[in-house]
Structure 1
Amino acid sequence: MSESLSTPLLLEMQDIDKSFGGVAALRRASLSVAAGEVHALIGQNGAGKSTLIKILTGAYRRDAGLVYFAGREVDFTSPQAARNGGISTIYQEINLVPMRSIAENIFLGREPRRFGLIDWRSIHRQADTLLSSFGLSIDVHRPVAQFSTAVQQMVALARAVSANARMVIIDESTSSLDEREVELLFTVVRRLRDDGRAVIFVSHRLDELYAICDRVTVMRDGQTVAAAPMAEMDKLQLVTTMLGRSLAAVVRHPAAAEGRDPSARGPVQLTATHLRAAPKVQDVSLAVHAGEAVGLAGLLGAGRTETMRLMFGAEAPGGGTLSLAGEAVALKSPQDAIRRGMGLLTEDRKAEGIVPELSVRDNLTLVCLPTLVRRGVVDRRVQKALVERFIESLGIKLRDADQPIRELSGGNQQKVLLARWLASNPKLLLLDEPTRGIDVGAKAEIAKIIRELRNTGMAVLLTASELEELIAVADRAVVMRDGRSVAELDGAALSEASIMDAIAFGAGAPSALAEAAQTVTQREQP
């Protein structure tokens, strides 16, 4: 996992452990970053990247392990202590004071003084000089809220530079920028590198990693699983490492979808054409038929969740068209989508799904509650019969329907949320990571339910980070990359290998896995 470096290490994190409530978030994780390099830190959701960064910057306390920075052992107790020690972090949600001026934000808490008073002339002059070195000519007297996200990123970087930070951590800062703004950010990052500073760059956009980064560390399930120069790890290898599948395993044992008869599907229920909602959704086109399950594949950050929310009316579109059952629609809210026969099972069960203190009965009937009202009062008899039917049909394990849903296992909570939407009798069901955070047995049960829904004629669009799980239920797959749909796979073309190929290279590179297969075969020949 490690390799020798020609330049001295500025940061070395060794055997870092961290648990929350007995659940391990990091297990002997490591990270080494040299001075004067841009280092990519990548991994899927839950891989441990954010936890590792928060331990480095003092937001979390580590349970075990050692951290060395600039040649000495350190144990920062707060983000402020880390900043004072030479480490600055720029998050996706920029931490600036909106109504303060650009100059004030750059020097906040470190204002130069003269005769005991703040030297405003010096602050404005230094801020102007610093931003000019970044190629920006702007009025530093104006409030930072009046400027674009890209300019605010530059201000945050200028603050780090003015504080003489030896290391800058950029955490998903490009996700809200357009191409021109990203290039401006990269120009500044390269200058930081040329000045001998280290940059840790966290991003899910593969092209960006290869454009700006010198080395990469890959994390998965709380562990560091790879560290190498970017030039020595191609895109396909990077994808397979993130997903936990070796090239050899994919080539020898290619998980593929079962053959299904396309004629079994019904009419088109959903059509999206060049759908856009900057910055996460750039150009998505797909169709879902009745009696069909379509998988939306891609790495975290590809725009899958945002696409589903856009289709459900939870986000305003920036362009493109959406049609339901052949009719063009403009959904202004999730209520519009529900009225048109749609349902959305969200990715975050705890934050956007269950109402923890309410009973299973109340959670299950939350969406269809208006249909259970008789003369202004909920018909408890009808509600009870409905709840009992879904508890039995989905095999929900519980004490009774009045039990608080928070007391159920993750898998049974997920079944209740599925039942919530099924009780509304939808024609189209959007399932965003329906098996996330549940055990293996519950995953198999959820997959069986999805297949049964498809077989009864429902249209299903689903996402899953585990490709094998996606392929197990999907008739077709649409692959997303950097907010765009780049490939559509079905029949014999739908496999774990072909999805990885499309994620790594987009459209037009069908030979990548074939080349990998040839390489693996050659290595194994006596």
Structure 2
Amino acid sequence: MKQEILRLERVTRLTDGVTQLDNMNLHIFQGEIMGLVCINSHGKEALVRLICQNLPIHYGYVYFQEQLVNNYEHSSMGMNRVSVIEQRSRLVEDLTVADNIFVLRRGFKKYLIEPRVLERQLRRFTDDFGVEIDAGAPVSQLSFFEKCVVELLRAVVTGVKLVVIRDISNFISAADLVKIHRLLRHCAAQGMSFLYICNHHEEAFTICDRVTLMEDGKALKVLDRPDFRDETVLQFSCEFFRGSGAGGHGEAPRDGALSLSGVVTDQMRGMSFTAGRGECVVLLDMNNTVLSDLVRLLSRGAQPQEGEIHVGGESWARDARRLKKQLGFVGEDPIHTSLFREMSYLDNLCFWLDRREPALWLNSAIRKSIVREYEPLVGEDIHAPDITGLSPASLYSLVYYRAHLLHPRVLFCVQPFSGADMYLRRHIIDLIGQVKARGTAVVLLAVSISDCLSVADRLLVVEQGRLKREYLSSEFPLFRAGQ
């Protein structure tokens, strides 16, 4: 019989009068990879914090390694032997890999540190993992993937029993995700347990032994492997799977809103692709190398080392400064990085119009016209004096309606579904569809496929800076089958 590593039994936790966890049940056994698919983000942060630390709860019991560590009558506030791997690294950036793994651990009592001894110790673990990491390298120089490996190594060395993997596909490439999954299976076979938190059931199905569906801080259902089907999830999230009509047409574009031909930069190795008017193209960067180069090149109006770029049939080399104004960019996590909280909704909505003509958005007649056009779409939010109290869905609407209003020839969206729960992803898909409907070419820049195919007309797979494969929407099942 497998040892139980973690059990939450009918746990209810309130924060500032708001129920974060509602009669939550969760069981994780030794050597198991338990998935947690969050239909919405409510309760996710509270759950992770409670697993790591025995915080006060209003009802229920928490068991760790079959020992009662927390209940509604008494919470010790003690820490459990749990590691969390997420985008915000818990490593000390200025120290070396070996120092982070061996020196910064409970029970290390040596006054003199011998680097060569630490390197030999690390090599035993890296050989077991089948990876190569320089023990003397500063953590600040590591990639996201390498930092994840180091954190996993530290968990192994320190004897951690449970590792929480949180939204990892948001920040590492698809190729690196495959490697991480291999390492998780290896560690699970050695007896380590994992809670794999993500927002997409397809991702969880590829790696997990069981999957818990959570909504509003409550476990809706636990799925075993025979239940790993879209139809099983459908009954809990009908709105998400209902088609929006935003998807592809199954044929190549006829007119090029954007065209790259043989483009060479520091990371791009002869990149060529087109995006047609009203088309949505997904650029899937399997190695997470070219996306930042592409955005930097086009947003700054810079020139490639080699190759040609055309926007609307016009040469980028001749007038990049003017043509870059015909491009729009929605960055990753845009509601936190591209909006001005202290400004009104209308000011945020109109802000990009400055690209067409300075101070155009301050014209009162134009502002009134914009209110008349967009109030039926966004409702009373358009009159908000600031945006601090608006919901994430409303803020995403603001981001994409701002692009809708600017009406660029091409809109680039970087990791558009990163960090979004299931309902927000459905909303973002609809918003992208509205931008497409205006005739704007939409290019989704992604390192993981997430829900990009739900709105895409074509998929371009990039490996090592080169376009390797292209799929029309009718061929998407072939791509999924190969994953």
> Per the shorter chain, which TM-score range?
0.5 to 0.7
Indicate which of 440, 444, 466 corresponds to 1:459: 440
Indicate which of 391, 394, 400 corresponds to 2:374: 394
Looking at structure 2, the residues matched to 57 and 166 of structure 1 have their Cα atoms a distance apart, in angstroms, of: 12
Over 3 Å counting, the alpha-carbon distance change for 1:93 and 1:100 in structure 2 is same
Q: What's the CA shift for 1:217?
A: 2.6
Deviations along 1:278-318, one digit per CA (max 9) or x if unpaired, are 99xxx9967332xx4649799xx9x9xx79x9599469999
Per the alignment, residue 367 of structure 1 pairs with 352
Structure 2 matches for 1:341-420, cutoff 5 A?
Answer: 341-344=326-329, 348=333, 350-360=335-345, 362-369=347-354, 373=358, 378=359, 383-395=363-375, 403-406=385-388, 420=402
Over 3 Å counting, the alpha-carbon distance change for 1:73 and 1:318 in structure 2 is farther
Over 3 Å counting, the alpha-carbon distance change for 1:189 and 1:407 in structure 2 is closer
Give the stretch that moved more between structures: 407-416 or 166-175.
407-416
Q: What's the CA shift for 1:385?
A: 1.2
- Alignment partner of 1:244 is 2:237: yes
Per the alignment, residue 67 of structure 1 pairs with 62
Contact 1:43 1:49 in 2 (8 A): yes
Indicate which of 122, 129, 135 corresponds to 1:140: 135
Per the alignment, residue 215 of structure 1 pairs with 210
Per the alignment, residue 276 of structure 2 pairs with 288
Secondary structure at the residue paired with 1:217? strand
- Alignment partner of 1:112 is 2:108: yes
Structure 2 matches for 1:8-407, cutoff 5 A?
Answer: 8-17=3-12, 25-43=20-38, 46=41, 48-58=43-53, 64-75=59-70, 81-82=78-79, 85-107=80-102, 108-110=104-106, 112-113=108-109, 117-118=111-112, 120=114, 126-135=121-130, 140-147=135-142, 149-173=144-168, 185-186=180-181, 188-202=183-197, 212-230=207-225, 232-234=226-228, 236-237=230-231, 240-241=233-234, 244-245=237-238, 255=243, 257=245, 267-270=255-258, 287-289=275-277, 292=278, 294=280, 310=295, 313=298, 323-327=310-314, 338-339=324-325, 341-344=326-329, 348=333, 350-360=335-345, 362-369=347-354, 373=358, 378=359, 383-395=363-375, 403-406=385-388
Looking at structure 2, the residues matched to 60 and 326 of structure 1 have their Cα atoms a distance apart, in angstroms, of: 60
Contact 1:365 1:383 in 2 (8 A): no
Structure 1 unmatched runs, 5+: 1-5, 508-526
Secondary structure at the residue paired with 1:113? coil
Q: Higher relative contact order by CA 8 Å / sep ≥ 6: 1 or 2?
A: 2
Secondary structure at the residue paired with 2:83? strand
Secondary structure at the residue paired with 1:67? strand
Q: What's the CA shift for 1:38?
A: 2.6
Q: What's the CA shift for 1:69?
A: 1.1
C-alpha RMSD over aligned residues: 5.9
Looking at structure 2, the residues matched to 462 and 182 of structure 1 have their Cα atoms a distance apart, in angstroms, of: 22
Larger radius of gyration: 1
Over 3 Å counting, the alpha-carbon distance change for 1:391 and 1:20 in structure 2 is farther
| TM superposition score normalised by structure 1 | 0.62
Structure 2 unmatched runs, 5+: none
Looking at structure 2, the residues matched to 41 and 96 of structure 1 have their Cα atoms a distance apart, in angstroms, of: 25
Looking at structure 1, the residues matched to 439 and 97 of structure 2 have their Cα atoms a distance apart, in angstroms, of: 53
Looking at structure 1, the residues matched to 306 and 14 of structure 2 have their Cα atoms a distance apart, in angstroms, of: 44
Looking at structure 2, the residues matched to 324 and 206 of structure 1 have their Cα atoms a distance apart, in angstroms, of: 37
Contact 2:281 2:460 in 1 (8 A): no
Per the alignment, residue 519 of structure 1 pairs with none
- The aligned amino acid for 1:288 is G
Contact 1:387 1:401 in 2 (8 A): no
Contact 2:410 2:443 in 1 (8 A): no
**Aligned positions, number:** 450
Give the stretch that moved more between structures: 100-109 or 10-19.
10-19
Looking at structure 1, the residues matched to 168 and 108 of structure 2 have their Cα atoms a distance apart, in angstroms, of: 29
Q: What's the CA shift for 1:390?
A: 0.4
Looking at structure 2, the residues matched to 196 and 502 of structure 1 have their Cα atoms a distance apart, in angstroms, of: 35
